[in-house]
Amino acid sequence: MSDREVLRREMEQTLSPPGERPDSSTVITRRTFLHKSLLYGTAGAAAYGLFPILNTIDLAFGQAGQSFKFAWISDTHLYPKNVNTRFVEKAVRAFKEVQEMNPPADFLIFGGDLGQLGDPVELQLGADLLKEVKLKKVFIPGEHDWYLDMGATWNKMFGKAPWSFDHKGVRFIGLDTISHAEDFWTARKMSAKDRMGHMATLDGTLGGAWAGVGAEQLKWLNGALASWPKNQPVVVFSHNPLYEYYPPWNFWVRDWREVHEILKPFSNVTNVHGHTHQVLYNEIGKMRSIGMLATSWPWPYAPEGLPALTQPMIRADPGDHFDGVGWSGLTMTANARVENEYKMWRKEVFAVAPPDSGSEDNRNQILSPRLADRI
């Protein structure tokens, strides 16, 4: 067992003591249950590890009776139109579909990586396309939006994170998990463009463990939740997952343990995150964490660390750039149920067996950091 695996198990034991589970209201909706039952039969579904189900999350809704929807879009990775328009087409489709939600969403959260290389042209293009969505919009940044000018354009156009607001009995929090990279560029005398290029390379190594919340923001988070009742729902938006999935690709935040210490007293916390471009689900202590799709392209599952509770998505067809991507609609129902639905632009989302998803590929592969980074 690797050191990382030992550490992961230790943390899970610490954060998820025996008998402590997320709120017992995690159930399966009739629609989803029928879907799974038709595919596998109830026993079959259990055998394939489809429970607990991903699509449905219940929140112990503090102010009963008010239902609402909200939508998540992230990872559009827009290039200037003269480079390519395929990501523009998909972003346009997602924005249009969010605007057409019926009943309408109360707000849209954009979860970062609007542009590909932080170019003001890309960010302006995103802002223009987002005009299609007339709803309230809130934003958190991704690393692709940031490292050309260290967030100057992003903050000016979309506002600073962190932030919080309350909506119908739920406290929503938006974190900045991307701006805390150690300075690898000054000593190497890199241009801003080179810095951005390295940060935009998922399997690059120069950026190191750049995903983090940071001491100042942890303090802010503590303060933002100080007066919030411990049994009221909290939804935390972050670009990166708030647990350790696969650090070499920054599929984590490096100070996730400190984040959990702050969230631990709350009985009902949901983390919704982007960056991983894939169907993901995990539970740490009482917190659920849901990974969102990108509209741009899907990442393969990481070689290790995929949460056991995730029912992986089907491997995407590289010949169809509308495959394996999309957005998410989340609904809080009148009886205090929130349902997350992946809008993946194809019929089936979940894989039946590991080979269909690639989630168990490369079990023997020797993983190596980029040679080209050894400079």
Partner 1 sequence: MTSKRLRYPLIAAAVGALLLVAADLQPAFAHKEKHTADQLQAFEDVFMEQVKLGDLLFHGDPATEKQLRVKLSGTGMACAMCHPYASDVHPHEFPKFQEQMNEFATLRNMINWCIEKPNEGEKIDADGPAMKALEAYIYWSNRNSKLDPGRH
Instruction: Name the residue nearer to partner 1 (CB basis): 92 or 101.
Output: 92
17-36 footprint of partner 1 as x/- string (CB under 8 A): --------------------
Residues within window 238-267 making contact with partner 1, judged by CB under 8 A: 248-249
Spatial separation of the C-alpha atoms in residues 362 and 259, rounded to whole Å: 31
Nearer residue to partner 1 within complex by CB, 163 or 299? 299
The site map against partner 1 for 122-161 (x = CB under 8 A) is ----------------------------------------
CB of 159 to partner 1, least distance (A): 27
What distances in angstroms separate CA 211 from CA 120, 180, 304, one per listed residue?
Answer: 23, 7, 18
Of the candidates 83, 121, 218, 352, which one interacts with partner 1 according to CB under 8 A? 83
The stretch among 77-85, 92-100, 127-135, 141-149 that binds partner 1 (CB under 8 A) is: 77-85
Stretch that binds partner 1, among 8-16, 34-42, 54-62, 361-369 (CB under 8 A): 361-369
Choice from 257, 321, 337, 346 touching partner 1 (CB under 8 A): 321
Per-residue mark of binding to partner 1, 276-315 (x: CB under 8 A) = ---------------------xxxx--x-----------x
Strand partners, 164: 173
Of 19, 18, 22, the C-alpha closest to 287 is 22
Q: How far apart are CA 220 and CA 224, in angstroms?
A: 6
The CA-atom distances, in angstroms, between 313 and each of 32, 55, 327, 330 are 15, 12, 14, 18
Asked if 362 is part of the footprint of partner 1 (rule: CB under 8 A), the reply reads yes
H helix intervals, the chain: 3-15, 30-47, 86-99, 120-130, 152-158, 192-199, 215-225, 256-263, 354-357
Residue count, binding to partner 1 (CB under 8 A)? 32
Neighbours of 204 (CB within 10 A): 18
Say whether residue 188 binds partner 1 (CB under 8 A): no
Give the shortest CB-90-to-partner 1 separation in angstroms: 13
Which run of H or of E encompasses 234?
strand 234-238
Stretch that binds partner 1, among 11-19, 231-239, 328-336, 354-362 (CB under 8 A): 354-362
Query: Binding of partner 1 at residue 348 (CB under 8 A)?
Result: no
Within residues 94-123, the interface with partner 1 by CB under 8 A covers 116
Residue whose CB is less far from partner 1, 48 or 322:
322
Q: What is the DSSP letter of 179?
A: S
Considering the rule CB under 8 A, would residue 227 count as an interface residue with partner 1?
no
Compute CA 211 distance to the chain's CA centroid, rounded to the nearest angstrom. Answer: 13
Residue-by-residue DSSP string for 243-268 = S-SBGGGTBS-TTHHHHHHHHTT-S-
Q: How far apart, in whole angstroms, are the C-alpha atoms of residue 26 and residue 41? A: 20
Q: Using the rule CB under 8 A, is 89 a contact of partner 1?
A: no
Residue ranges of E strands in 285-372: 287-291, 327-332, 337-343
Structure tokens at 339: 């349902």
Give yes or no for residue 368 binding partner 1 (CB under 8 A): yes
2 binds partner 1 (CB under 8 A): no
The DSSP annotation for 28-94 comes to --HHHHHHHHHHHHHHHHHHTT--S-SSEEE---SSTT--EEEEEE----BPPTTT-SHHHHHHHHH
Residue selected from 318, 335, 353, 360 as contacting partner 1 according to rule CB under 8 A: 318
Strand partners, 73: 110
From the list 46-54, 130-138, 329-337, 366-374, the region that binds partner 1 by CB under 8 A is: 366-374
Give contact residues for partner 1 (rule: CB under 8 A). Answer: 79, 83-84, 86, 116, 201-204, 248-249, 297-300, 303, 315, 317-319, 321, 358, 361-362, 364-368, 370-372
